[in-house]
């Protein structure tokens, strides 16, 4: 007997040892909520410095359990990730220490601490919520958990040695970075700052070259013409491996289409065509808005729009012109977002109150934005882990320029950037242009929502079954058993 007990104990110890050395975490959620993407795993595999993740969060928080599980996956994938949980209610002394050490102004945050820097993530930024139930007094419902998306981006921010430099052109009526009015880009600057960019304005008029060290030049909705020398400067920058984002708005009748004609012509030299028209889409109209304001949720196959497509996000374009690949060019211009098949480009700009598809109009579906890689690499893996230097999709240093063009600048202004998926589209675009593949949005994952739906009749049946049926059945079985024993 003693030998059997000893053998059983040894077997249990051996199994425990093997499970400790060779464990595997499983994810049984329907949406694979806690399964890390290959993109994140690659970044964790290349991590060469310790990062502390301090969860300063009440256990009753909506995102506490998902955060706990997803960070456990990060720690399991890399020995450089150290996770600590501090409950600000149950451990007030430690909480105060964290407040002093990391200068935290609020609870319900996650702090990532690297060798020389730190990032504070608000718990509210870790999930998407549906607030419709609050109108009836109910709590908001979590519709998507963004833990991996936010944590991976934060992790890369900490270990990168240099922030990409973005210059916005000025002097041609472009939207201003500092303006807080509806057409300003103040809110965009906040989003880009959060995403670890360095942003400034630059007057291209009279400049012989783009300033050294510039990673991306943005032309945001000009209303005056660029000179020939300026466009030559842009060409030199692009052909030398530079990156540009150009947003060209339609010019209504009488307001000067000639003002943007040189820029549109210059785009044609790169195989991009932008007809003088306004995009209309009866199938994608917004209530209470004119025919020129549409939303688009049809995307091309591209890293910029992959996460938007997965998350089924739409983009709102208040006033857009077509942007498409020109015919007769060898350049591989890739479509980013387009209208439905019912959309078209209206060329009669004098009467937008009664628009209809005519013979001279641009037939849909109409492209609203395109991307061009001037020197694409043979690898199609657009999601490889980034290095400290700019790297292309195959991981090798890239020398080719990149160009993205949208037929609207309003979607990224203060008035519109918070609508639908607009901020995702513009931030993803800039991250792709500067080749920060890990910053491209990882789509939020929907938490499991297991519900039992019953008709009123089924609910009544279950009510009486629980209230009377089961207790009565138990009583009858007891009486039957008692009477049967008495007969014996």
- Dump the DSSP string for 438-456: GGSPPPPBPPP-------H
Tell me, what's the pLDDT at 135?
Answer: 61
| CA distance from start to end of the chain | 41
Tell me, what's the pLDDT at 438?
Answer: 59
CATH, range 29-158: 3.40.30.10
Q: Domain 165-435 falls in which CATH fold?
A: Rossmann fold (3.40.50)
Query: What's the rounded Cα separation, in Å, for the pair 53 and 64?
Result: 14
- Classify each residue of 455-470 as buried b or exposed e, where b means 16 or more C-beta atoms within 10 Å of its C-beta: eeeeeeeeeeeeeeee
DSSP secondary structure string, 228-243? HHHHHHHHHHHHTT-E
Query: What's the rounded Cα separation, in Å, for the pair 71 and 54?
Result: 10
Ordered per-residue pLDDT tens for the chain, 488 residues = 566 676 666 777 665 655 555 445 554 455 444 578 777 888 888 888 899 999 988 888 888 888 998 999 999 989 999 999 988 878 878 778 877 777 776 678 898 888 877 888 888 778 877 766 666 667 777 777 888 878 887 887 787 767 789 999 999 999 998 888 888 998 888 777 655 688 999 999 888 899 999 999 999 999 999 999 999 999 999 999 999 999 999 987 556 677 889 999 999 999 999 998 999 999 998 887 878 889 999 999 999 998 888 878 899 999 999 999 988 776 789 999 999 999 999 887 766 666 778 778 888 899 999 999 987 655 434 433 333 333 344 333 345 799 999 999 999 999 898 888 898 899 889 989 988 765 665 555 555 444 445 566 766 777 777 777 777 777 788 787 777 776 66
Pairing of strands 141-145, 118-122: unpaired
Tell me, what's the pLDDT at 263?
Answer: 95
Q: Is 192 helix (H, G, I), strand (E, B) or coil?
A: helix
> What residue segments make up the domains of the chain, in order of their start?
29-158, 165-435
Tell me, what's the pLDDT at 390?
Answer: 39
> Which residues, at least 6 apart from 407, have a Cβ–Cβ distance to it below 8 Å?
247, 248, 249, 250, 274, 279, 317, 320, 321, 322, 323, 368, 369
Burial class (CB in 10 A: 0-12, 13-18, 19+), 408: buried
Q: Are 76 and 25 in contact (CB under 8 A)?
A: yes
- In this prediction the pTM is 0.64
Pairing of strands 315-317, 278-280: unpaired
DSSP secondary structure string, 312-360? T--EEESS----EEPTT--S-EEEEEE--TT-EEE--TT-TTS----TT
> Which of 125, 199, 127, 211 minimizes the C-alpha distance to 165?
199
């Amino acid at each position: 007997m003693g030998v059997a007990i000893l053998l059983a104990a040894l077997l249990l110890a051996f199994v425990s040892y093997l499970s400790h050395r060779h464990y595997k975490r499983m994810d049984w959620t329907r949406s694979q909520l806690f399964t890390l993407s290959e993109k994140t795993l690659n970044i964790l595999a290349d991590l060469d410095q310790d990062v502390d993740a301090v969860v300063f969060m009440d256990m009753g928080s909506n995102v506490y359990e998902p955060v706990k599980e997803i960070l456990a996956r990060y720690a399991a994938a890399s020995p450089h990730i150290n996770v600590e949980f501090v409950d600000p209610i149950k451990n007030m002394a430690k909480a105060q220490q964290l407040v002093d050490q990391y200068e935290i102004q609020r609870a319900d945050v996650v702090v990532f601490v690297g060798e020389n820097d730190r990032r504070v993530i608000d718990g509210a930024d870790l999930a998407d919520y549906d607030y419709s139930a609050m109108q009836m007094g109910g709590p908001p419902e979590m519709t998507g958990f963004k833990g991996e998306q936010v944590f991976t981006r934060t992790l890369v921010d900490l270990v990168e040695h240099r922030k990409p430099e973005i210059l916005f052109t000025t002097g041609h009526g472009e939207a201003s970075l500092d303006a807080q009015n509806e057409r300003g880009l103040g809110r965009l600057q906040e989003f880009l700052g959060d995403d670890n960019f360095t942003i400034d304005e630059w007057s291209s008029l009279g400049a012989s070259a783009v300033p050294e060290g510039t990673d991306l030049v943005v032309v945001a909705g000009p209303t005056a013409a660029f000179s020939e020398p300026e466009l030559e400067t842009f060409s030199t920058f692009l052909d030398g491996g530079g990156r540009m984002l150009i947003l060209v708005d339609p010019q209504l009748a009488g307001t000067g289409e000639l003002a943007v004609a040189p820029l549109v012509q210059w785009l044609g030299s790169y195989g991009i065509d932008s007809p003088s028209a306004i995009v209309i889409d009866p199938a994608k109209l917004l209530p209470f808005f004119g025919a020129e304001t549409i939303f688009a949720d049809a995307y091309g196959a591209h890293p910029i729009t992959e996460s938007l497509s997965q998350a089924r996000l739409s983009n709102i374009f208040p006033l857009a012109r077509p942007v498409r690949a020109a015919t007769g060019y060898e350049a591989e211009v890739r479509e980013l977002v387009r209208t439905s098949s019912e959309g078209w480009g209206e060329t009669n700009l004098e009467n937008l109150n009664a628009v209809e598809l005519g013979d001279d109009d641009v037939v849909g579906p109409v492209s609203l934005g395109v991307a061009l890689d001037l020197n694409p690499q043979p690898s199609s893996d657009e999601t490889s882990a980034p290095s400290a230097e700019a790297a292309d999709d195959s991981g090798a240093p890239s020398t080719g320029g990149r160009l993205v063009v949208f037929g609207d600048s309003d979607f990224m202004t203060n008035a519109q950037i918070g609508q639908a998926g607009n901020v995702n589209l513009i931030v993803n675009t800039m991250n792709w242009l500067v080749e920060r593949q890990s910053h491209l949005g990882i789509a939020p994952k929907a938490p499991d929502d297991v519900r039992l739906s019953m008709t009123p009749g089924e609910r009544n049946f279950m009510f009486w079954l629980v209230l009377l049926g089961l207790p009565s059945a138990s009583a009858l079985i007891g009486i039957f058993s008692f009477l049967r024993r008495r007969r014996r």
